[in-house]
Amino acid sequence: MARELNHFIGGKQVKGTSGRFGDVFNPTTGEVQARTPFATGGEVRNAVDSAQRAFPEWAAQNPQKRARVMFNFKALVEKHMDELAHMLSSEHGKVIADSKGDIQRGLEVIEFACGIPHLMKGEYTESAGTGIDVYSMRQPLGVVAGITPFNFPAMIPMWMFGVAIAAGNTFVCKPSEKDPSVPLRLAELFMEAGAPAGVLNVINGDKEAVDAILKDPDIRAVSFVGSTVVAEHVFTTGTAHGKRVQAMGGAKNHAIIMPDADLDQVVDDLIGAGYGSAGERCMAIAVAVPVTDKLGDELVKRLKPRVEALKVAPSTDPDANYGPMVTREHRDKVKAYIDMGVKEGAELVVDGREFRMQGYEKGFFLGGSLFDHVKPNMKTYQDEIFGPVLQVVRAKTFDEAAALPSKHQYGNGVAIFTRDGDAAREFAARVQVGMVGINVPIPVPLAYHTFGGWKRSAFGDVNQHGPEGVRFFTKIKTVTARWPKGGAREGSSFVIPTMR
């Protein structure tokens, strides 16, 4: 019988009361392993109330004390790394090594958040006017929330709550209903690290819970990662209710390959970045753009045997390149896109639709697929497929290649492979995409920089983690102070103050 998961509110596990549940699958076997409760608006409100009660005391803690909780939490997550990785893989399907990478990239933001005493410093101007000093301070917003996706159930929650809580806010997390166990376990470890009850709450649910978060008057800011359709809904609804919102959406990341590139390295990078985690990454390389047909012929010739040789296996297999997809519905959606690509006239060089994992026939497995001669007017090129499918779009010139990611509706990440520094520099400056890799296939910035796309890959003006994350989860207060000498009075002034 499938176990029943809970919410985490006020420092303890709380049973759901709605009577509505979602199935949590083991993607390797296709079996239901747990049920997650779908919260009512009232249960979301209980989590907000818990966070509100915790906020005054937590915000009043000096930043060093908050940083110490972050240090303790980091140590606990590292101690429980194997447990968390196996838990993550059992619900998501990604291989254990990839799950550990998921956790580690989240921990890097926690490490960044350990520096919050420095990051919260304001500015000070002595004697801005006669006897007048001006200074600013960063202060937390209050109760904030994060709505996180299935594909990184450890990393993205830590991206959000790490910075937010270190800055003095309290947090309500609504993880994906497809793989909620890791966020719940992280909340337990956060309590063990010394956080007061209510500082971090986890509420499970579907659209009802999301809309309750977006409309709750006491939630000051919402961070979101997911599909573009939902990101736009989160942004428009949240901002309409007076919230600060950052909403990261879909992607269609291109890799531009110049004729002078190291093709052996390019093929290695495309295989890893295109098929790792079954392509269920918002920073996966989905489109390879070789410049010239000669290079395109050679690239496809080298890619074909590598895609055919991909080892698709259960997530516990240490030799697997990638495991199953997260759900049967998502696997079938990706297969439908492959069907569509064939109908649109693209050349299906490698067909992964009929892959079956012996002994795991009910698992959500899909083999790697490779398309050549894909055209920009094809729907399969325009949409995010989010699976183990790499499309090759050929370009005749550098200018034609560079225009493809700039014109695409998505602008999350892009890469260029070349030995020509001038071409790389021009590309980085010209391309209309938020994150650029130069001979780097997945240009996810390090934690002390910032993550965010352009166009329909992101809604809102402030990116995630790094200094931008601190700015998002804090507000500036500026103080102008005057200390007259000897208590002297200057009388009333009816002119706007100036510093002359």
> How far, in Å, CA of 367 to CA of 355, rounded?
5
pLDDT at 128: 86
> How far, in Å, CA of 45 to CA of 217, rounded?
10
User: Is the C-alpha dihedral spanning 346, 351, 354, 355 positive or negative?
Assistant: negative
**Order of all β-strands in the sheet with 132-140:** 124-129, 132-140, 474-482
pTM above 0.85, yes or no: yes
> How far, in Å, CA of 428 to CA of 415, rounded?
9
C-beta of residue 422 within 8 angstroms of C-beta of residue 416: no
The reply to whether 3-249+457-478 and 253-438 are identical in fold is: no
**Residues taking part in catalysis:** 282
> How far, in Å, CA of 371 to CA of 304, rounded?
10
- The CATH class that applies to domain 253-438 reads alpha beta
> How far, in Å, CA of 441 to CA of 439, rounded?
6
Q: Would you put residue 134 in left (φ > 0), alpha (ψ -120 to 50) or beta? A: beta
**Per residue in 360-371, is it b (16+ CB within 10 Å) or e — as a string?**
beebbbbbbbbb
User: Is the C-alpha dihedral spanning 100, 472, 384, 448 positive or negative?
Assistant: negative
pLDDT at 448: 86
Domain boundaries defined on the chain: 3-249+457-478, 253-438
Per-residue pLDDT of the chain (500 residues; tens, 9 = 90+): 789 999 999 999 999 999 999 999 999 999 999 999 999 999 999 999 999 999 999 999 999 999 999 999 999 999 999 999 999 999 999 999 999 999 999 999 999 999 999 999 999 999 888 888 999 999 999 999 999 999 999 999 999 999 999 999 999 999 999 999 999 999 999 999 999 999 999 999 999 999 999 999 999 999 999 999 999 999 999 999 999 999 999 999 999 999 999 999 999 999 999 999 999 999 999 999 999 999 999 999 999 999 999 999 999 999 999 999 999 999 999 999 999 999 999 999 999 999 999 999 999 999 999 999 999 999 999 999 999 999 999 999 999 999 999 999 999 999 999 999 999 999 999 999 999 999 999 988 888 888 999 999 999 989 999 999 999 999 999 999 988 776 556 667 777 766 66
Length of the chain: 500
Q: At what angle do helices 293-308 and 263-275 cross, to 10 degrees?
A: 50
pLDDT at 477: 95
CB atoms within 10 A of CB 436: 17
**Order of all β-strands in the sheet with 200-202:** 12-14, 7-9, 200-202, 170-174, 143-147, 219-225, 244-248, 458-459
pLDDT at 489: 64
> How far, in Å, CA of 309 to CA of 311, rounded?
6
Q: Which CATH number fits domain 3-249+457-478: 3.40.605.10, 3.40.50.620, 3.30.70.2740, 2.40.70.10?
A: 3.40.605.10
pLDDT at 25: 97
